[in-house]
Amino acid sequence: MRWPLPWLLAALVPAGAMAVSIAMPMIGASPPSGPWASPSALALALFLALGQQAVPVVVLGAGLATFGFLFVAACPFSLLHGVGLTLGTAVAQIIAYGGVAWLVLKATPGRDSLALLGKGYLLAPFACALATTLALVSWHLFSDLDIAMLGSRGLSWFMGEWIAVNTLALPLYYILAPGRFQGRVQRRLVFWALGLAALTGGAALLKPALGADFSWMIVAAFLALTILAASHYLTPISSACLVVVAQGLLILATQVMGGGGMGEGPEWREVRQAMLGLSFVSYVAMAIPLLRAERGALRQIAQTDSLTGLLNRGAFLDQTEAEVSRSRRRGGALSLVVMDLDHFKQVNDRLGHAAGDKALRDTARAIHRALRTGDIAGRWGGEEFLVALPDTDLSEGTTVAERLRRDIAALSVQGAHGSHALSASLGVAQLLPNESLESAIARADRALYVAKGHGRNTVRVAPVVAWRCRTEETS
């Protein structure tokens, strides 16, 4: 990460918050309560990205936020009081958000994304409560505001911090350390953002007609449902950014189109609750794609042979059975190739098991290179492999098997006591009408043993007549 970026964000985020505080009264709205909401989210992101190196950047952000608030609110203050408030705010953020970042990272070995996300959201309210309390204490010590007045604003400041941290910390963390996230911000985010804008604008236009029956909580619920639907198609960070868009649209609707105020009235209390609910949607929206990715990874592990990367026996049978059903519906052919490495025990005995493992991996790569799109390859067990060839008759299947034989015969493995040239014996069978997959594999396996009995490193085709005769005898 380039160091100018954290310093730039430490200047831009408080400046943006100050600009919002100046602009909102110009459109007839009250400025937001809680002057450090956005800088607090930045502080948490900085500590997650930089660790203890974030301290000077956090102090700068706290100072700019404090002096910006004093300027916008037209509060009389001395330079000494401003410095005191800055240091008090910085200490509050360092203790609260630096502590949370340290706990989250220390308690999550391997930086598991889902675990980091869960612990962060679980600890966020405690960090916000601590930061708000410490900031209020510093304001009592370094300003003319009495403790009763500060206490009346405490809940509002806490809610603002909690909403901002839940909503903004992860997008800011992404800006600081994009390499730690799975995926990137996607262009399709714009499509979903336009959908949220249409939903929010339509709700605000309906507010005068609905009167007392109108509820911003219901609007937030529809926004949340839209975000959750989008999370199935977006990366985790794109989902988090969509929540930021929803929060901004909700504020815009309440302030401009809906006529709400960001003061302490009943309507604003409802809006704050709606925004807090939306901020929690960020956790769920990010967790959904992470859980889907983990489920896909677990499925891959369950279906894959760990040594060769090919399908394991169970996954091969499942996928091939599905292909058999499709081939029969279409009236197409399907051939099977069973393959066994020749003299594989000699590789392990002479060159060691490491060389044997390499021989299996090299063979799997050769199989993968030789097959076509749609072909299915798996490790049947030991040094035996099995390939299913959809839409392939016996003649074409034999051609593919011969190509596999030549590719494997070109391989060799090295060991501490010399080298060993690889070769394979292969049996080919075409699935016959009304024949089970197990029966076709058994015929190909018998052809494989015929190949081994005829000098190995050769291809043999399973006899069809013998199978037909046995079928007629048992019918």
How many Cα atoms are found within 13 Å in the side-chain-facing hemisphere of 190?
Answer: 1
Cα(385)–Cα(378) distance, integer angstroms: 6
pLDDT at 474 exceeding the cut of 50: no
Cα(258)–Cα(267) distance, integer angstroms: 10
Per-residue pLDDT band for 18 (boundaries 50, 70, 90) equals low
H-state helical runs in 143-263: 147-176, 189-210, 216-231, 236-252
CB 98: neighbour CB atoms within 10 A?
22
Q: Which three-class secondary structure state does DSSP give residue 235?
A: coil
Give residue 258's pLDDT: 46
DSSP letter assigned to residue 279: H
**Contact present, 443 and 461 (Cβ < 8 Å):** no
**Contact present, 429 and 440 (Cβ < 8 Å):** yes
- Report residue 139 as tokens: 């304001």
Report the range of poorest mean pLDDT among 24-38, 132-146, 159-173, 331-345: 24-38
**Contact present, 1 and 9 (Cβ < 8 Å):** no
Residue with tokens 């075409």: 430
pTM over 0.85, yes/no: no
pLDDT at 437 exceeding the cut of 90: yes
Give residue 470's pLDDT: 45
Per-residue pLDDT band for 285 (boundaries 50, 70, 90) equals confident
Mean pLDDT of 302-324: 92
Residue 156 is which amino acid?
S
Give residue 409's pLDDT: 93
CA angle 34, 38, 41 (to 5 degrees): 115
DSSP letter assigned to residue 452: H
Residue 460 β-bridge partners: 427
User: Who wins on pLDDT, 202 or 72?
Assistant: 202
**Contact present, 399 and 466 (Cβ < 8 Å):** no
Mean pLDDT of 203-223: 83
In whole angstroms, how far apart are CA 217 and each of 161, 211, 214, 428? Answer: 20, 14, 9, 66
CA dihedral sign, ordered 93, 96, 102, 104: negative
- Report residue 448 as tokens: 């494989």
Per-residue pLDDT band for 159 (boundaries 50, 70, 90) equals confident
Give residue 401's pLDDT: 94
Share of the chain above pLDDT 90, in %: 32
- Report residue 353 as tokens: 């098991």
Active site residues per annotation? 383
pLDDT at 38 exceeding the cut of 90: no
Mean pLDDT of 112-119: 66
Q: What is the DSSP string of 53-85?
A: GGHHHHHHHHHHHHHHHHHHTT----HHHHHHH
pLDDT at 151 exceeding the cut of 70: no
Give the relative orientation of helices 189-210 and 236-252 as an angle to the nearest 10 degrees.
30
Residue 115 is which amino acid?
A
Residue 19 is which amino acid?
A
Mean pLDDT of the chain: 82
* Closest C-alpha among 414, 413, 387 to residue 402: 387
The predicted-structure confidence for 229-266, as pLDDT tens digits, reads as follows 998 888 888 888 999 999 888 888 877 654 444 455 56
Burial of 135 (0-12, 13-18, 19+ CB in 10 A): buried
Cα(237)–Cα(226) distance, integer angstroms: 16
- Report residue 217 as tokens: 């909580």
β-pair type (384-390, 334-341): antiparallel
Share of the chain above pLDDT 70, in %: 84
Per-residue pLDDT band for 110 (boundaries 50, 70, 90) equals low
Mean pLDDT of 115-129: 81
pLDDT at 164 exceeding the cut of 90: no
Residue 383's contacts (CB-CB under 8 Å, 6 or more residues apart) are: 340, 341, 344, 359, 360, 363
CB 363: neighbour CB atoms within 10 A?
25
Mean pLDDT of 293-310: 86
Residue 196's contacts (CB-CB under 8 Å, 6 or more residues apart) are: 223, 226, 227, 242, 245, 246, 249
Q: Write phi, then psi, for 274 (nearest 5 degrees).
A: -65, -40
What are the start-end ranges of the E strands in 327-370?
334-341
